[in-house]
Amino acid sequence: MEVFVAEASDRETMREVVSQTLKRFQVINGVIHAAGIIRPHLIKSTTKGMADSVLSPKVDGTMVLFDLFKGTNLDFMVLFSSMASVLGPYAHADYSAANCFLDAFANYSNSVAKFHTVAINWPVWKEVGIGAGSSYFAELEALLGVEDLQEEMLEKAILTDDGLEAFKRALNSDHAQIIVSPESLNQLLEQSQAPFDPTMRLSRRYRTMEGSSQPMKSRQR
C-alpha cells in the first residue's frame, strides 16, 4: 500500500498523485472519492469561506478526479455521498448541497465516461470516521441545545461489516445512486418533511423533555 496526501481540489497536485501511482502500480482500476468535511452551522452564520471549505473537497475534488480519469477504462468510480443530500438535515445546508452535487455528478459521469460511477448515500457509520471520533457531535449538540446526541445517533448508525457489505453490493450494481439506510427510509423521509423539531430524531427518553424551554437533558441521572 502507498499513501499520498494531497489537496483534492488541486488539479496539478492530484495529477502528480495519479502519475506517481501509475509509476508504482502501472494501472489504476478504480477510484473512490471519500474526501469530505462536515461542520454543522446555520445558514445565517455561514461565511463564504466556511461553505467553500465544505463544498470544495466534494465539488472541486470530484471534478478534478473526473477530468484526470474521464478518458480511461476504470472499473469503477465511487463517490462517497451522504444521507444528508436525501434528508437535508438542520444546520447542514452546505454539506447537503455538496453531497447533492455528488449524486447528480454520478449521473452526468455515466452519460459521458466509459466507466461506471456510483454515488453512495451513507448513513452515519458507528465505528469509524466523522461520527466516531471527531468533534462533530459536540458541535451539533451545542447548536441544537441537546446532550448525548452522539450516543443516540450512533445507536442507529451502520456497523462497519454492514457498511462493507453494502459497499460490495454497490460496486456490483449498475445504479448511479445507492442509498444505504439501517433505518426505514420512508420514515426518515417523512420526518425530514415535517416542520423542524430538534428532538424529532431522538428516542422516547429524549422526547420526554419536549415542550421544555430549557435545553434538553437527554438522560435523567
Ligand X SMILES: NC(=O)c1ccc[n+]([C@@H]2O[C@H](COP(=O)([O-])OP(=O)(O)OC[C@H]3O[C@@H](n4cnc5c(N)ncnc54)[C@H](OP(=O)(O)O)[C@@H]3O)[C@@H](O)[C@H]2O)c1
Is 89 a binding residue for ligand X by CB under 6 A? The answer is: no
- Min dist CB 213 to ligand X, Å, is 32
Binder among 7, 147, 148, 183 for ligand X (CB under 6 A): 7
Is 35 a binding residue for ligand X by CB under 6 A? The answer is: yes
**x/- letters, 51..70, toward ligand X (CB under 6 A):** -----xx---x---------
Taking CB under 6 A as the binding criterion, the range among 21-29, 86-94, 119-127, 137-145 that sits at the site for ligand X is 119-127
Residue 127, classified by CB atoms within 10 Å of its CB into exposed (0-12), middle (13-18) or buried (19+), is middle
* d(C-alpha 195, C-alpha 130), whole Å: 27
| Residue of closest CB approach to ligand X | 129
Taking CB under 6 A as the binding criterion, the range among 19-27, 35-43, 64-72, 180-188 that sits at the site for ligand X is 35-43
Strands 76-82 and 30-33: parallel
Is 188 a binding residue for ligand X by CB under 6 A? The answer is: no
Binder among 69, 80, 137, 206 for ligand X (CB under 6 A): 80
How many other C-beta atoms lie within 10 A of the C-beta of residue 92?
22
Residue of 146, 152, 150, 151 whose CA lies nearest to 215: 146
* d(C-alpha 101, C-alpha 33), whole Å: 13
Q: Which is closer to ligand X, CB of 185 or CB of 209? A: 185
Is 9 a binding residue for ligand X by CB under 6 A? The answer is: yes
Is 82 a binding residue for ligand X by CB under 6 A? The answer is: yes
Is 40 a binding residue for ligand X by CB under 6 A? The answer is: no
Residue of 178, 156, 160, 157 whose CA lies nearest to 169: 178
Nearest-10 crossing angle of helices 93-112, 48-69: 20
Alpha helices in 116-159 (DSSP H): 130-133, 136-144, 149-155
- Min dist CB 88 to ligand X, Å, is 14
DSSP-assigned letter for residue 158: B
Q: Which is closer to ligand X, CB of 87 or CB of 176? A: 87
Is 154 a binding residue for ligand X by CB under 6 A? The answer is: no
Pair 121, 103: CB distance under 8 Å: yes
- Min dist CB 79 to ligand X, Å, is 8
Contacting positions for ligand X (CB under 6 A)? 7-9, 34-38, 56-57, 61, 80, 82, 122, 124-125, 129-131
